[in-house]
Structures are given as structure tokens and as C-alpha cells.
Amino acid sequence: MKAVAVFPGSQQVKIIEQDVPRLTQPDQVALRLLDVGICGTDKEICSFEYGTPPSGDDHLVIGHESLAEIVQVGSAVERFEVGDLVVPSVRRPCPHPGCLACRSGHQDYCYTGEFTERGIKEAHGYMAEYVVDHERYMNVVPPDLRGIAVLAEPLTIAEKALEQIFWMMQNRPPWLDPQTPSHERGRGLSALVLGIGPVGLLGAMTLATAGFTTYVYSRELPPSPRIDLVNAIGATYVSSQTATFPDLAAQIGNIDLVYEAVGRSHFALQALRVLGTNGIFVLTGVPVLQDFVQSDPAHLMRTMVLKNQMLLGTVNAGPEAFAAALRDLAAFRRRWPAVVRTLIAGRYPPEQAPALILGRPAGIKSVITFDAPVAGQSSGPR
Ligand SMILES: [Zn+2]
Ligand SMILES: [Zn+2]
């Protein structure tokens, strides 16, 4: 079978032939991959800036944003049967008995850092025709989400952040009554999304769905399909080429939430300066470590204290966030059917993966498909 792998030693990204994996434990499922999304993390791995092969291997099979069909179940599998659709989570627990996070199934909060991540860190990923995995890491996908469920994994970034934001808001009166329905939890509050890539756009859709008055700020100027998307979901786009952060703060008023999805430290620090009273600042982007900036920490510290601000870093994600992502994908499709049809820019065969990963991203999300399209059928979004 085919897989897409990166070889850090020889600095190559290529298609490899492998044996089809077999079940070796009763709690395992065999997956036939349908769709695998490409993202910035894959680009970093294929540029040899990030990612580690499993110990003893010279290569890493990439791919962590996936949708698969179960084709075989082990004798102890309880929740799934052949034919079910699933989105696997990415991170696997560390081996330490004392890691409270991993031992309770919350490896996204692992204390030791010795977790593995499929397709990223010391474990092969999902950009392969078949994969074997354990039942407990599978998230069930309703069949009618077949066309868009590959977006669930990148959407978990926003969902996990929102889960924590609402928990904090409910504990900071007078913001939020715990009985508030989920689509009204952001009502009366403003959210500023930094960045217009897939993470930023999915974040903006999530925040708008939760009722926030949502703004998206990035360098891009119109015309742009991404800016059209921001407008189509009822959010407001502002370009950093036409407005500064203080201009933006004057336009928005109190900025209750900043959702950072760029991974540039100077941009994030400028935004932190305009965070409002009782504001929460969520960091999701991972900057390169040489990204030095001059700063004024005393000013930032003073403002954060006097305005009760909170700074939150978050890495995806646990089962609750996957369930929320699948619920929200269905909600997005009900609310903005035309927008949702544009989220997947195209589906491509695995042979095109290296060029797509290393090239300039076209559209919002490019997807590698292992599910050969029927002759005459469009390779676009389904
Ligand atoms: Zn990703
Ligand atoms: Zn751990």
C-alpha cells in the first residue's frame, strides 16, 4: 500500500510502498483512510523544521488531519463496527504512571512531554491507505458529515480553546450564566481573530456560531476568497495594511477575546496591548524560536493585572473537543451551506502530496484522498 513519508536523514518527502498493517491486539481497529488534510505543521515537518520519526525508523509517515472508514474490528472492540466513519485523535499518552493527565485520558495536557503524536512526533501518521489504531482514540463521525469531517481535527483547536474560555467566563461573574445556550455564550462580547489561515477561519466560524461579534485581522487585502468567507459568516475583516491595532481597538471597543492563529510573536504582543478589561488572550500559533521582539514587559504586566486579563496557550485536543468539532461542522453547514462548500479547496491523489505540502497553499484546505473518485466525478468538495 502507499504512504507519504518524510526522511529527515536524506531530506526527502516521497511516496513509499508498505505492507498493509494487521491487527495485533483485540482492542484495535483497521482503518481505510478516506481524506487526509494538509496543514502548516506538515509543511514544517517536510521542511525538516519539526517532526520526529519513531525510534529506529529513518522516516515518518505524515498526516494528522484525517477521516477514515473502519474495515476491521478486533474481538474486544465495543463502540464500532465495519463501515463506521471515524476521525482519530492525534496525541497518544506518555508512559509515566505519575502523569495525571495521560493516566486520565487527557494526554493533550501531558505533564512529561513524552507523549507521541501520530504523523508528527515519534509515531507514524495517517497519510497512508490503511492504518491500525486503538478503538479508544477514535471519534465517531455521523455519515452525513463524510464530505467535511476531515476538518474536525483542525477545528478542535478552536473547540478546546472555547471549552476553556467558557469555563473561565462562567467562573468570572457577571459574564455568563451557566444555563446560557451554547450559541448565545458569546452574546454581547467581541472576539478578535488574528490570522486568516485555516485555523483562524475555523476559529472565526466557531466564535461567530457561539454568538461573539467577530473580527478577523490579517495582512491580506481584498479581493480574496478568504476575506469573502469572513464576510459571508457575518464577521468583519480588517487588514493590517489599512488599520493599526489601536485603530482596531477604537473600532471594536472592549476586546473581550483575542484568538491568535498566526504564530508571530511581534504580532501577538501588539495585540496583547489592546486586549480589553477582563479579556482573555488565546495563543494557538507556534512561532519559530528565533522570532525575537523588543517588548515592554512592565507595561504588559501592569495592564494584565489592572485589567484582570488572562493569557492562555492551548494545544489540541481531547475527546470533548472532537465531539464539539463534529457538532459544530454540522452547525456550520446548516448556517452557511455555501461557505462550507468552499472550505475544502480540492481533493488530490497521494502522489501530489509532496508538491502540495511544500507549495503555496491554494484555497482554505487541500485534502489528499485515498478514496479513488468514480470516473466523471468531480475531485472537488463532496
Ligand atoms: Zn494540522
Ligand atoms: Zn503524560
SS (H, E, C) the chain: CEEEEEECCCCEEEEEECCCCCCCCCCEEEEEEEEEECCHHHHHHHCCCCCECCCCCCCEECCCEEEEEEEEECCCCCCCCCCCEEEECCEECCCCCCCHHHHCCCHHHCCCCCCEEECCEEECCCCECEEEEEHHHEEEECHHHCCCHHHHHHHHHHHHHHHHHHHHHHCCCCCCCCCCCHHHCCCCCEEEEECCCHHHHHHHHHHHHCCCEEEEEECCCCCCHHHHHHHHCCCEEEECCCCCHHHHHHHHCCCCEEEECCCCHHHHHHHHCCCCCCCEEEECCCCCCCCCCCCCHHHHHHHHHHCCCEEEECCCCCHHHHHHHHHHHHHHHHHCHHHHHHHEEEEECHHHHHHHHHCCCCCCEEEEECCCCCCCCCCCCC
Q: Binning pLDDT at 50, 70 and 90, where does residue 130 land?
A: very high
Distance (Å) from CA 120 to ligand 1 centroid: 10
**What is the Å distance from ligand 1's center to 314 Cα?**
14
* Rounded mean pLDDT, 194-202: 96
**pLDDT of 175:** 63
* Per-residue pLDDT, 177: 76
Q: What is the pLDDT of residues 45-76, one digit of tens each?
A: 999 989 999 999 999 999 999 999 999 999 99
Dihedral angle sign, alpha carbons of residues 159, 160, 166, 172: negative
Which pLDDT score, from 0 to 100, does residue 373 have?
55
Give the tens place of pLDDT for each residue, 219-262: 999 999 999 999 999 999 999 999 999 999 999 999 999 999 99
> Where residue 217 falls among pLDDT bands split at 50, 70, 90?
very high
262 Cα–ligand 1 center, Å? 13
What pLDDT is recorded for position 362?
A: 74
> What is the separation, in whole angstroms, between the first and last Cα of the chain?
25
- Where does the pLDDT of residue 191 fall: very low under 50, low under 70, confident under 90, or very high at 90 and above? very high
pLDDT bracket for residue 357 (50, 70, 90): very high
How far is Cα 178 from Cα 181, in angstroms, rounded to an integer? 8
Residue 127 CA to ligand 1 centre (angstroms): 12
Q: How far is the CA of 318 from the centre of ligand 2 (A)?
A: 13
Angular region, 256: left φ>0, alpha ψ -120 to 50, beta rest? alpha
Give the Cα separation of 343 and 329 in Å (integer): 11
Question: Cα–Cα–Cα angle for 236, 323, 132, nearest 5°?
Answer: 120
pLDDT band at 361 (very low <50, low <70, confident <90, very high): confident
Strand 116-118 relative to strand 122-123: parallel, antiparallel, unpaired? parallel
Residues with CB under 5 A from ligand 2 (ion): 94, 99, 102, 110, 112
The Cα 108–Cα 90 span in angstroms is 9
> What's the rounded mean pLDDT across residues 334-347?
95
Gap from CA of 280 to ligand 2 centroid (Å): 27
The pLDDT of residue 129: 97
Spatial separation of the C-alpha atoms in residues 24 and 6, rounded to whole Å: 25
Report CA(153)–ligand 1 centroid distance (Å). Answer: 7
C-alpha–C-alpha distance, residues 231 and 117, integer Å: 35
Q: Is it the case that residue 382 has pLDDT exceeding 60?
A: no
The C-alpha atoms of residue 120 and residue 44 are separated, in whole angstroms, by: 10
**Residues above pLDDT 90, as percent of the chain:** 84
Give the whole-angstrom CA distance, residue 320 versus residue 182: 14
Q: What is the pLDDT of residues 92-116, one digit of tens each?
A: 999 999 999 999 999 999 999 999 9
Which triple of cell numbers denotes residue 168?
473561565
- Tell how far the Cα of 316 is from the centroid of ligand 1, in angstroms: 10
Distance in Å, CA 111 to ligand 2 centroid: 5
Q: Give the pLDDT of residue 173.
A: 58
Which ligand is closest to the CA of 127, given by its number?
Answer: 1
Work out the pLDDT band at 286, boundaries 50, 70, 90: confident
pLDDT for the residue numbered 21: 97
Q: How confident is the model at residue 272 (pLDDT cuts 50, 70, 90)?
A: very high
**Closest ligand (CA of 42):** 1
The predicted model gives 361-366 an average pLDDT of 84
d(Cα 7, Cα 17) in Å, to the nearest integer? 14
- In sequence order, which residues have a C-beta less than 8 Å from that of residue 165 and are 6 or more positions away? 257, 280, 282, 312
Compute, in angstroms, the gap from residue 231 CA to the centroid of ligand 2. Answer: 41
Residue 172 — pLDDT band, cuts 50, 70, 90? Answer: low
Residue 184 confidence (pLDDT) above 90: no
CA of 42 to the centre of ligand 1 (A): 7
